[in-house]
Amino acid sequence: MLINRVLKRSDILSCSLCHDAPCSSACPVMDPARILRSVWFDNQDIAALRLPADNPCLNCDAPCEKACIHTGKVPVKDVMIRLQSEVRPRSEIDIPEDEDRLACDICGRRLENPFLLSSSVVASTYDMCARAFEAGWAGACFKTICSFDIHEASPRFSAITGDSGSIVGFKNIEQLSDHSVAENMEIFRRLKDRYPGKFILASIMGQDEAEWEELARLCEENGADGIELNFSCPNMQEDGLGSDIGQIPELVERYTAAAKRGTTLPVLAKLTPNVANMSPAAEAALRGGADGLAAINTIKSIIGVNPLTFVSAPAVKGRSAIGGYSGNAVKPIALRFIAELGQNEALKGLHISGMGGIETWRDALEFILMGAGSIQITTAVMQYGYRIIDDLKDGLNYYLAQMGIRSVRDIIGAGLDSVSDSTDVLERDSILFPGFDHDKCSGCGRCVISCMDGGHQAIRFEDRVPRLDGSKCVGCHLCMLVCPEGAIFPAAKRIAGRR
């Protein structure tokens, strides 16, 4: 079920993925909310395999749907029955018994799985990290620590949402931890004491070499397992900090070397995507002694310009500021930077901690295939909570088992050979024509519209049936991408110019 998914998010769009979900309280036999979440987070095989084999939903009058906060609007029973009847019979393996495949490391220090909270509000207090660890996260990159005062604005977030109302892209103008260094060091001590097996990555930002060195030293003394250097926050009030550093390789090298003087722990340089290429900063970090890289931090952005006030969001008393963009919308940009780092021969051997828009195990897998050895997440946690770790771990573990891959380590960077930063390498002599599944086709004609106005006028509409003219089709696949029914597929390949 890796390619063709039976159920999609769109099948449960009206589900709010509730906290303390009434559907689960109402169901006497299972936890429908957990199963719906698995469908949402691209884990339908596991959702299906978790259902009781005797299909209790078939003869049930669906108290789950009656208890739902959107009474009757979420097709819980139908989804459970489809999982049983359509997904379960096609699932290739049982749910694997252990999660050993997920174990990996950051610079030789063990991670029970690749998933860490990334440095942000989601990892900013003892209680938050403790709850995340209990939920199954392998570690946390703690909210960036600094020794200067932080005063945040309100509001500080804004978002672009998709049709379901869920956040696709997220803008923040937040800076660093507003706890004192001493308070944060106490948090590290308590976390390490209570959770010795979890990885504490301490994110730091200094104002000069002495501060970078001192913060790195303090973090090691107080229980951190690694240090991440924040060369990439785009929201700093003062000039010369955060992404201002990340854009100047000489500063990256100098401050990395300073931090290395203060610690024996692995040091990761967190780089800014607000550059054309990341390699100059990454190579500078290596020269400074970095053991690894982390990317991406947020992308400078403007969103939501208000048509009445002309002020972009978030508006703070009539003013706004360029701020960092994150969330699922930035994933392609993040992947491109990860691949650039992964392909750079000069950086071979450096650990890459990948982030930027990861919500599901499949997103995480894409980062791993592009060279990430660990995964960090913020925006999806802000939106959905620490509980997403269940489907991240379950899904990745199931995928590895299904593919017969012994360890996640074995596929780090496995997709890099397919990526080229030039289109020169591509074969240009053949055309991959679309095929039409007329049983699935609803006759909407969206493929016709797109091919007429955005393509090559190669689809005719005859009695509401799309017909391809192979002499005009260039195989661009726009029709496939716009089809709401998933009724168009890659079909026959032909050498261009030949019939």
Ligand X SMILES: Cc1cc2nc3c(=O)[nH]c(=O)nc-3n(C[C@H](O)[C@H](O)[C@H](O)COP(=O)(O)O)c2cc1C
Largest CA distance in the chain: 75
Nearer to ligand X, 119 or 450 (CB): 119
Query: Choosing from 57, 64, 233, 451, which is the catalytic residue?
Result: 233
Could you give the C-alpha distances from 164 to 12, 17, 57, 240, 362, in angstroms and in order?
9, 12, 26, 40, 20
> Which segments within 149-241 are labelled E, that is strand?
157-161, 167-172, 199-204, 226-230
Q: Which residues contact 30 (CB under 8 A, 6 or more apart)?
A: 50, 51, 52, 56
Nearer to ligand X, 141 or 451 (CB): 141
What is the three-class DSSP state of 230? Answer: strand
The least distance separating ligand X from the CB of residue 228, rounded to whole angstroms, comes to 7
Nearer to ligand X, 18 or 121 (CB): 121
Q: How many CB atoms lie within 10 A of CB 213?
A: 19
Of 286, 250, 280, whose CA–CA distance to 268 is shortest?
A: 286
| Residue appearing with tokens 């709850």 | 131
Question: 375: which strand partners?
Answer: 115, 354
Chain positions contacting ligand X, by CB under 6 A? 118-121, 143-144, 170, 172, 174, 176, 203, 230, 233, 270, 297-298, 326-327, 330, 355-358, 377-380
Nearer to ligand X, 11 or 340 (CB): 340
Enter the tokens of residue 200.
Answer: 């504490």
Nearer to ligand X, 76 or 167 (CB): 167
Q: Provide φ and ψ at 325, rounded to 5°.
A: -105, 135
Separation between Cα atoms, residue 16 and residue 10, nearest integer Å:
12
Enter the tokens of residue 280.
Answer: 């100059």
Nearer to ligand X, 35 or 233 (CB): 233
Active-site residue, 104 included? no
Encode 426-444: b = buried (16+ Cβ within 10 Å), e = exposed.
Answer: eeeeebebbebeeeebeee
The least distance separating ligand X from the CB of residue 445, rounded to whole angstroms, comes to 36
Nearer to ligand X, 158 or 450 (CB): 158
> Which segments within 387-496 are labelled E, that is strand?
430-436, 459-462, 465-468, 488-495
| Residue appearing with tokens 């290739």 | 92
Pairing of strands 323-326, 167-172: antiparallel
Nearer to ligand X, 49 or 252 (CB): 252
The least distance separating ligand X from the CB of residue 400, rounded to whole angstroms, comes to 22
Could you give the C-alpha distances from 257 to 109, 110, 208, 254, 269, in angstroms and in order?
21, 25, 12, 5, 11
The least distance separating ligand X from the CB of residue 302, rounded to whole angstroms, comes to 16
> For residue 211, what is the enclosing H or E element?
helix 209-221
Q: How many CB atoms lie within 10 A of CB 252?
A: 28
Instruction: Classify residue 118 by its DSSP letter.
Output: P
Q: Are 165 and 191 in contact (CB under 8 A)?
A: no
Does residue 249 have a cis peptide bond before it, meaning omega lies within 30 degrees of 0? Answer: no
Alpha carbon 23 to its chain's center:
28
Pairing of strands 430-436, 459-462: unpaired
The least distance separating ligand X from the CB of residue 319, rounded to whole angstroms, comes to 19
Nearer to ligand X, 273 or 455 (CB): 273
Q: Are 257 and 288 in contact (CB under 8 A)?
A: yes
The least distance separating ligand X from the CB of residue 15, rounded to whole angstroms, comes to 22
Residues with active-site annotation: 233
